[in-house]
Structure 1
Amino acid sequence: MKLGFLTACLPQLPLDEIAAWAAAHDYEALEVATWPSTGSRDFEASHIDVRAFGAREAEDVRALFDKHGLLLSSLAYYENNLHADEARRAEIADHVRANVDAAQLLGVESVGTFIGRHPGLSVKENIALAERELPPLVEYAGERGVKIIIENCVMEGWHPDGYPGNLAYSPELWEWMFDLGLYLNYDPSHLLWLGIDPVTALKPYLDRIPHAQAKDAQLDPAARNRYGFFGRTVERNDGWDSGWWRYRVPGLGDVDWRRVVDTLYEGGFTGVLSVEHEDPVWSGDVQRVTQGLEIAHRTLRPLIVG
């Protein structure tokens, strides 16, 4: 197992500066953000331009990672593959394929994305839509030796009332997506606030987890007594504002990282545990973000065999 982080937390820095910082601070891998320079997400990072990527660009990226002794663990483009707008959905699928092409050139095992959700359709209708839209992407990736990995993020901000916007948030849905040939980019933070024990959920599916993310969640049961499990309703400022929990860097929330990492080892996991930094306390500028990454490193490094 290697310790890395997702570069999306540093959208203002170029990849060479991020790689130099990671190597200097004892990180071993980077999960590289590949959003287009313009799109629908307000925190996009584009550290590799997969739309203008060929053999020369792949050689440059490999040379950069070799220089710093780093592994490029996965390409990261987490978008709504079931977007309600068909034209936008097609654009997203095209960008997933561009990521797969870049991963093939780089010799990278996986491309990360979301299932997503059409908010105007029922869950059953969304599943039927996914069963039409996603298998061609799985086939395209498989032909190029690449796995498509799905993070189990709830993406509640994609739904106007804060309900799940990514149909990959529970083991029930993991089993369905595995049947489509997809894999899991396991993240325990989302399970925690859903009331799912992250370790119990992890154990049966280790053979479908080539990559994992490390994000923590801090729960506030007293606030939940006011809002209920679904979070704020009348007082909700936006889809992300639950009112009773928030994401933290590992070590500052309620995930039991000793049990999570031990379970990964027990199941034979040899991939990368990639810190996904979305901590609102350790955000705002490069210094704060990198300090948050240092906190995550101090939490996780003692648990990972060197």
Structure 2
Amino acid sequence: MGRHHPAQRQLDLAHRLLHHRLTPRRGDPSGRRAARRSAAGLLPAAGRNRAGAPPAPGRPGPPDRAERDRVHRHLRARVDAARALDVPYVNTFVGRDVTRPVAGSVEPAERILPPLLDYAAERGVRLLAENCPMEGWHPDGYPGNLADSPELGDWMAGLGGEGRGSLLTYDPSHLVWLGIDPVAALDHALDRGMVAHVQAKDVEIDEAARTRYGVFGRTVGRGSPTDGGRWRYRVPGRGSIDFNRLVDRLHEAGYDGAVAVEHEDPVWGGTLDRTKTGLRIAADHLRPFVARNSRGRRTTEGGRRPGDGDTTARPDARPPRCQPNWPTS
């Protein structure tokens, strides 16, 4: 991959985003020019890019307010960078106090989150919350993210007022092991115009282990909060998710955003060559389900962006229904 390859340019930009701080210059109060030069103010967050107020990962206890403030500053810097780079969305998670019931975090979140949503909206950016449970934030592997279910997704979308609530980064893999129908959850979110980004990640369920351990996985002998022992993430086509059906739903709703492969497959990982093979398996599996746009890029085609107030599908833009294409290598 040469230095001028589009993917290489994106990697270079991502590197700058993660390693440079925004320094607004005199005469540039918005920081827009500085952001384009230094690409942000984004420092590595070590997986802690949470808009709520949880304790540090693996350390159950009361919320760390200094950490909350740090994360909020980090999130605002991401929003500033997105505005400068004309990126419409910033994805995050919504941490909770794992020492209290979920309802005990909802009330303070309703005070804490709207100012962040407003900050983004005033800059033409929408915040997204992924439906990942973030079980690694809870010592027993229970959900630590206040956006892991359709119910909580609806609650998040209702914060911040009209056109300002959090939209959804939809990942079907988490829903499956939580016992949530990923198609029904997607239909609901599409009907509400909430889906702004889609992650293509599959999951493999060990039914015998689920019978033994229960929904949230093993307790005795659990090596880490994420060591549930009854599911593992796979590249698309190697698990149980019907991506043909899911992408067809996106077509039908007029979704025109990205379907991005998230590679966490332990079988096709560990080395660069195996990781590349895993990505090829994913691409081969998904390729028949998407159409090319006028610029030659693959897309789910048609429709407005979520949050525009019009999520009606355009029948003339709908491609024919896709047929399954199971990879053989």
TM tier, shorter chain?
A: 0.7 to 0.9
Aligned to 1:297: 283
Which of residues 104, 114, 120 in structure 2 aligns to 1:141? 120
Q: Deviations over 1:75-134 (max 9, x none)?
A: xx7623222211111111111100000000000010000012211222111111211221
Aligned to 2:93: 114
User: 3-state SS of the aligned residue for 1:278?
Assistant: coil
Query: Matches of residues 145-184 of structure 1 in structure 2 within 5 Å?
Result: 145-180=124-159, 181-184=165-168
Which of residues 267, 285, 290 in structure 2 aligns to 1:281? 267
In the alignment, is the contact (CA less than 8 A) between 2:21 and 2:38 conserved in 1?
no
Letter of the 2:205 partner, please give it: L
Aligned to 1:73: none
Letter of the 1:192 partner, please give it: V
Q: Distance in 2 between matches of 1:271 and 1:31?
A: 20
Between the two proteins, what is the percent identity of the paired residues?
49
Deviation at 1:47, TM superposition (A): 5.0
Which of residues 243, 249, 252 in structure 2 aligns to 1:263? 249
Deviation at 1:153, TM superposition (A): 0.1
Deviation at 1:226, TM superposition (A): 1.6
Larger Rg, first or second structure (1 or 2): 2
Higher helix content, 1 or 2: 1
Q: Deviations over 1:156-190 (max 9, x none)?
A: 11100111011111111111000111110011111
In the alignment, is the contact (CA less than 8 A) between 1:261 and 1:303 conserved in 2?
yes
Q: Which runs of 5+ in 1 are unaligned?
A: 1-15, 24-28, 35-44, 62-76
Residues paired across the two proteins, number? 262
Query: Matches of residues 220-231 of structure 1 in structure 2 within 5 Å?
Result: 220-231=206-217
Query: Matches of residues 62-211 of structure 1 in structure 2 within 5 Å?
Result: 79-81=49-51, 82-83=53-54, 84-180=63-159, 181-206=165-190, 207-211=193-197
- C-alpha change, 1:164 and 1:50, in structure 2 (3 Å) is farther
Deviation at 1:299, TM superposition (A): 1.1
Q: Distance in 2 between matches of 1:108 and 1:202?
A: 24
Q: Which runs of 5+ in 2 are unaligned?
A: 24-31, 40-46, 55-62, 160-164, 293-329
User: 3-state SS of the aligned residue for 2:168?
Assistant: strand
User: 3-state SS of the aligned residue for 2:96?
Assistant: coil
Higher strand content, 1 or 2: 1
In the alignment, is the contact (CA less than 8 A) between 2:173 and 2:233 conserved in 1?
yes
Q: Distance in 1 between matches of 2:21 and 2:2?
A: 22
Question: Is 197-206 or 97-106 further displaced after alignment?
Answer: 197-206
Deviation at 1:228, TM superposition (A): 1.4
Which of residues 12, 16, 21 in structure 2 aligns to 1:51? 21
- C-alpha change, 1:79 and 1:60, in structure 2 (3 Å) is closer
RMSD: 2.7
- C-alpha change, 1:269 and 1:172, in structure 2 (3 Å) is same
Q: Distance in 2 between matches of 1:88 and 1:161?
A: 22
- C-alpha change, 1:17 and 1:167, in structure 2 (3 Å) is farther
